């Protein structure tokens, strides 16, 4: 039997890895405030949501359980993003990112407890390799610049860690309770748009805002990749195990980002990046056999 037909979740997860990998490589190119980047990202979810609605002939699942679980997925993801902006106001990225990057460990633990998900011994090795890759890339991608302004960053980073860790579990629950993945994504998009006013309030309007091509327009081109990856991630979670999909997506997208950056800047990978690349490739191979 064809592997992608037997494991459709892997195909969707690969699309998420590729789109998020390209997104990661170019996400710092636009000259645009982070909070307004959130606004553009939320707007970029709308075209994908329209595609999702068209796939189900605009027959959105309106049952209360489906609605609240799906909205919960979006609010956890978007709320975590807004909390991340706050954390970065008080501490440099080299402290914040490594802490939140291992959020999938929350997903793995909760999936084992509440969803009773299990994998083979080889599968657990794959999960371990995914976390090795995540840690390697989070540590290699941040230099020791900036200063800690307040311990409050730990609180906001913890919120991101918990929100994003729980999000994958809720996404799986939403998929189990909803007849189609498209409805889950549409509500995710709605929840992202709902929090736009919060992002606008968080924006420092005393600073000039670049409205040229390398501002909101380039940001949209980059963020639409994020939205597409989120769309296929819903399908990956629908057909696959949350405890595998979450660490796999987070571990392998940086490999693509790293590869693109290495080509663009003609640089050699660091030792940590090499370890991360090898670990990520190994975990993809293992999960393809799972």
Residue 61 is predicted with a pLDDT of 96
pLDDT tens by residue, the chain, 290 residues: 344 455 689 999 999 999 999 998 898 889 999 999 999 999 999 999 999 999 999 999 999 999 999 999 999 999 999 999 989 888 887 788 888 888 999 999 999 999 999 888 889 999 999 999 998 888 876 555 557 777 888 999 999 999 999 999 999 999 999 999 999 999 999 999 999 999 999 999 999 999 999 999 999 999 999 999 999 999 999 999 999 999 999 889 988 988 898 888 777 888 988 999 999 999 988 987 76
Question: Rounded distance, CA 260 to CA 73, Å?
Answer: 30
Residue 4 is predicted with a pLDDT of 44
- For residue 15, count other CB atoms closer than 10 A to its CB: 17
Is 48 contained in some domain?
A: yes
Residue 258 is predicted with a pLDDT of 86
Q: What are phi and psi of 18, to 5 degrees?
A: -65, -50
Is 142 contained in some domain?
A: yes
Residue 246 is predicted with a pLDDT of 93
Is 188 contained in some domain?
A: yes
Is 224 contained in some domain?
A: yes
Is 75 contained in some domain?
A: yes
Residue 2 is predicted with a pLDDT of 45
Alpha helices in 240-270, H assignment, sequence order: 242-265
Q: How many domains does the chain have?
A: 1
42: containing domain: 6-289
Residue 142 is predicted with a pLDDT of 58
Is 256 contained in some domain?
A: yes
Residue 97 is predicted with a pLDDT of 82
Question: Rounded distance, CA 167 to CA 206, Å?
Answer: 34
Question: Rounded distance, CA 173 to CA 137, Å?
Answer: 29
Residue 144 is predicted with a pLDDT of 52
Is 1 contained in some domain?
A: no
Residue 51 is predicted with a pLDDT of 97
Contact (Cβ atoms closer than 8 angstroms) between residue 203 and residue 265? no
């Amino acid at each position: 039997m064809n592997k992608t037909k037997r494991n459709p979740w892997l195909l969707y997860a690969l699309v998420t890895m590729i789109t998020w990998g390209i997104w990661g490589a170019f996400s710092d190119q636009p000259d645009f405030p982070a909070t307004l980047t959130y606004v553009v990202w939320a707007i970029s979810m709308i075209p994908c949501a329209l595609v999702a609605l068209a796939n189900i002939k605009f027959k959105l699942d309106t049952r209360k359980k489906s609605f609240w679980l799906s909205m919960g997925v979006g609010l956890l993801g978007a709320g975590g993003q807004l909390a991340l902006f706050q954390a970065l106001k008080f501490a440099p990225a080299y402290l914040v990112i490594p802490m939140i990057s291992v959020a999938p460990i929350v997903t793995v633990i909760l999936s084992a407890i509440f969803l009773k998900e299990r994998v083979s011994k080889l599968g657990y090795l794959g999960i371990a390799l995914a976390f090795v890759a995540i840690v390697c890339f989070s540590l290699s991608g941040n230099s020791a610049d900036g200063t800690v302004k307040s311990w409050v960053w730990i609180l906001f980073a913890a919120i991101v860690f918990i929100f994003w860790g729980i999000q994958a579990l809720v996404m799986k629950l939403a998929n189990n309770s909803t007849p189609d993945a498209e409805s889950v994504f549409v509500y995710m998009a709605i929840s992202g748009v709902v929090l736009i006013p919060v992002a606008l309030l968080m924006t420092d309007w005393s600073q000039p805002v670049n409205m040229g091509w390398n501002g909101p327009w380039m940001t949209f081109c980059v963020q639409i990749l994020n939205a597409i990856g989120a769309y296929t991630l819903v399908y990956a979670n629908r057909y696959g195990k949350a405890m595998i999909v979450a660490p796999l997506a987070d571990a392998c997208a940086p490999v693509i980002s790293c590869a693109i950056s290495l080509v663009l800047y003609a640089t050699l990978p660091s030792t940590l990046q090499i370890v991360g690349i090898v670990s990520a490739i190994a975990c993809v191979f293992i999960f393809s056999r799972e």
